[in-house]
Amino acid sequence: MSKALEPSTAVMDYPRRDAGDKLTGQTRYTVDRAGPDTLKAVLFRSEIAAGRIVRLDVEAARRAPGVRAVATAVDAPGHFGLGIADHTLFAKDFIRHHGEPIAAIAADTLEQARAALDLVVLEVEPMPALLTMGAALADGAPEIHPDWKNYEILLEGATRGGNVAWEATTERGDVDDAFARSDVTIVEGNYRVGRQSHVPFEPRAVNARFEDGRFNIETSTQVPWTVRSVTARALGVPEADVRVTVPPVGGGFGLKFDCSLEPFAAILARKARRSVSLVNSRREEQLTCLCRENAEIRIRSAVTAKGEIVGREAVVLMDCGAYGGEQVFLTTMTAHTLGGNYKVGSTRIVTRAVYTNTQPNGAFRACNGVYNTFALERHTDEICEAIGIDPIEFRRRNVIGDGDLGATGQVFEGNVLGPMLERMVEKHPYEQSKTPVREGWVRGRATTVGTWFIFVGPSSATVNLNADGSATLVTSGVEIGSGSMMQALPQIVASELGIEPDRVIVMSADTDASGRDLGVGGGRQTVSLGAASKQACDEVRKKLLDVAGELLQTDASNLVLSQGRVEVRGGAGGSVALSEVLSRAEATRGPVSGSGAFTAPGVPSMPGCAAGHFIDAIDIPVFAVHDCELEVEVATGRIEIRDYRVIQDVGRAINPRAVQSQVQGGVVQGLGYALHEEITINDEGFFDQAGFETYRIPLAQDVVPVDYEGFEGAPSVGPLGAKGAGEVPILNVGATIACAVANATGKSVSELPLTPPRVLSLLNDRAAPVTLDHIRRNWRENITTT
């Protein structure tokens, strides 16, 4: 059961302070902030997936009416990337994907800029396009990056070669010996998932200007410091020459966890000496959206008759598209998502980020954990069927717990997942629903488990006390909808300083004003920024109490902050208003402020287990148990969700209502991934789903009320025991839906999304099995040796 936590004044259902303005349309996003004299920019993009540039002529466009600046590859010589610097801002010699930027144009009006696009002359020699990972990994396939050996390595330790951008491996124990045992059943499964588009309400957008020798970039991003770094690298200028500020962000979900449009606008602003606005059209956003990557997974397990997993091996292929991007980092995640739910005697996993001539992919809420959990939980149910054991009982015996080893040999702390699973079964007894199944429908139910982790990374915070007793919090945090900046952080600061959350002013991110921060993603914001803010408050509180001790003629250790005052502990003495203490402090010592910084070094992994990983072991594991009951219409393959239930490890919910909102939203987004959202790429390398007419996201009638319960008390280094709550809710959804559909239909489910045509083909035994012939049967033959 949950561990009892000490009460904290920080915990409350504090409402979002930005809700009113957002509901009434008063909030001004990046797209709303371009002034009347701002130039409008557009990108000239490739209309083929692969080719060699023979000639590019922009002179006619440069002379077109209203055009103030044109930029090409000569204006942005720098290479950038994550782990490897394999990306340039503009295509120079080779085109590697449909929609790749080749030139940028800024004009007085958007119409003039678009008209100038037609004047750009581009001659291209088409080349064979490798549009699938199978094609890219085939023997003799041309290299999408023939000069890959010359790229700068930004993180040592990974294997690369040919069309494999990055490779991360995990090996622990003797897997060959486990598979050779005579008392095991060997179960193997292949799984495949497609891409998912983020579809935030606000597309990627930037306003840029160049003044006083510096670039000033106002942008809709989750990572202002990444934008600063990549822009400087792409333009070949010092990072100090770039300032990034972030207004309210109209949704991100990981799409904006990267630098995208900002350098283009910056170059044009410098060339034109005018402010420049660059905003993706909805069509551009869809077709170049840094999707959640498509992936292919093979898992093979050796299991005893009693259900002990003595050995497991897996190969995960992640399509990174034309450039390594975020997928290079995400290869690390597999060890913790695919390798994190269950105790395994010995294991080996390889994750390969594969270049293809398709649009680059990127981070998306719970990243590769969503499809790895789908594959692992389907594989788990297939194990149960093969050895004849109840799926709940199998999970009871095998979920990771206190002292168990993860895939990289790290030691987990606390029994968390087991009690959560028991709570789900206790709360919702596992028996057939008493409601009759409708004629023409079949019903299924499934329970799955999932493991995510909070990658903490560096954060900093400054707290300034104002003369009226209010506080100003300065960080690089960004409000993307999770509520951390509007709720959790003001609650933490207010609790530490004895004031109301309404009295905490939270500054928008500004790289000139705040310290470095990794960015908003991975569920880290409340944990990392919250801890840094709490540390800053410790310094502020000490300064306040020292001055108040002089006013109240008592030792500072006898004083507490409460309700905007400093008072003697226990009410045995006098008190003084915070504003009076501040007045005295400013007169005698100067303004009161404090700073804090936080990161977590990670926990130890077993030496030699991990190679090519950005993180060898989990900073903060976070767990989820999902349960779903659904029905499938036999005649159409249509799926209806009857009940959806979540028990989520939250450490401590600083704002329980906000966490519940994140769970509700995350599940609905996961339903889109599981049931509706599908992107297919045609022979020209172009998305077939170019807009909302063909890309089906969940609508209002698709929303399913979620029965949610938070599980508190699991170990966490977060402030007050908090864990990130925004990423995890989507983690298990695809897995749970797939397992429930398999149980309802009696068919093997190995691919997402489960659209009606795909389900109908399963029901009618017309679905082709998922065969991954480009994944070699011998695990070691999937390791790059270059």
Predicted confidence (pLDDT) per residue in 85-104, tens digit: 999 999 999 999 999 999 99
Mean local confidence (pLDDT), 652-673: 96
List residues bridging with 55 in a β-sheet: 123
Query: What does 550-582 look like in DSSP terms, one character per residue?
Result: HHHTS-GGGEEEETTEEEEGGG-S-EEEHHHHH
Mean local confidence (pLDDT), 314-342: 96
Instruction: Residue 327: name the closest of 685, 86, 622, 624 by CA.
Output: 86
83, 17 contact by CB (below 8 A): no
Question: Could you read off the pLDDT of 255-297 as tens digits, one per residue?
Answer: 999 999 999 999 999 999 999 999 999 999 999 989 999 999 9
For residue 613, which phi and psi values (nearest 5 degrees)?
-95, 140
Q: Structure pTM?
A: 0.97
Report the amino acid identity of residue 591.
Answer: P
Query: What does 254-297 look like in DSSP terms, one character per residue?
Result: TTTSS--SHHHHHHHHHHHTS-EEEE--HHHHHHT--PBPPEEE
Kindly list the strands in the beta sheet with 121-126, ordered across the sheet, starting from the edge strand earlier in the chain.
Answer: 94-95, 51-57, 121-126
Which tokens is 329 given?
């980092």
pLDDT value for 434: 65
Question: Could you read off the pLDDT of 709-737 as tens digits, one per residue?
Answer: 999 999 998 999 999 999 999 999 999 99
750, 298 contact by CB (below 8 A): no
* 76 conformational bin, left if phi > 0, alpha if psi -120 to 50, beta if neither: beta
Query: What does 194-243 look like in DSSP terms, one character per residue?
Result: --B----SSPPEEEEEEETTEEEEEE--S-HHHHHHHHHHHHT--GGGEE
pLDDT value for 298: 98
Report the amino acid identity of residue 458.
Answer: P
The 8-class DSSP code of residue 405 comes to B
Q: Is the dihedral of CA 661, 664, 668, 669 positive or negative?
A: positive
Render the burial of 42-62: b for 16+ CB within 10 Å, e for the rest.
bbbbbbbbbbebeebebeebb
pLDDT value for 786: 65
pLDDT value for 2: 55
pLDDT value for 600: 84
Instruction: Residue 286: name the closest of 686, 698, 753, 690 by CA.
Output: 690
Query: What does 709-735 look like in DSSP terms, one character per residue?
Result: EEEE-----SGGG----SSGGGTTHHH
Cis peptide before 753 (omega within 30 of 0): yes
What average pLDDT does the structure give for the chain?
95
211, 241 contact by CB (below 8 A): no
User: Confidence class of residue 3 from pLDDT cuts 50, 70 and 90?
Assistant: low
Q: Is the dihedral of CA 678, 684, 685, 690 positive or negative?
A: negative
737, 630 contact by CB (below 8 A): yes
714, 414 contact by CB (below 8 A): yes
Longest dimension (CA), the chain: 85
For residue 78, which phi and psi values (nearest 5 degrees)?
-75, 150
**What is the C-alpha to C-alpha distance for residues 743 and 630, in angstroms, rounded to an integer?**
10
User: Confidence class of residue 430 from pLDDT cuts 50, 70 and 90?
Assistant: confident
Q: What separation in angstroms does the CA of 653 have from each of 415, 481, 669?
A: 19, 17, 22
pLDDT value for 1: 44
Sequence-distant (≥ 6) Cβ neighbours of residue 391 within 8 angstroms = 380, 381, 384, 446, 447, 739
Sequence-distant (≥ 6) Cβ neighbours of residue 429 within 8 angstroms = none
List residues bridging with 451 in a β-sheet: 623
User: Confidence class of residue 605 from pLDDT cuts 50, 70 and 90?
Assistant: confident
Q: Which helix (H) or strand (E) holds 423?
A: helix 417-427
**Three-state secondary structure call for residue 251:** coil
Mean local confidence (pLDDT), 425-435: 82
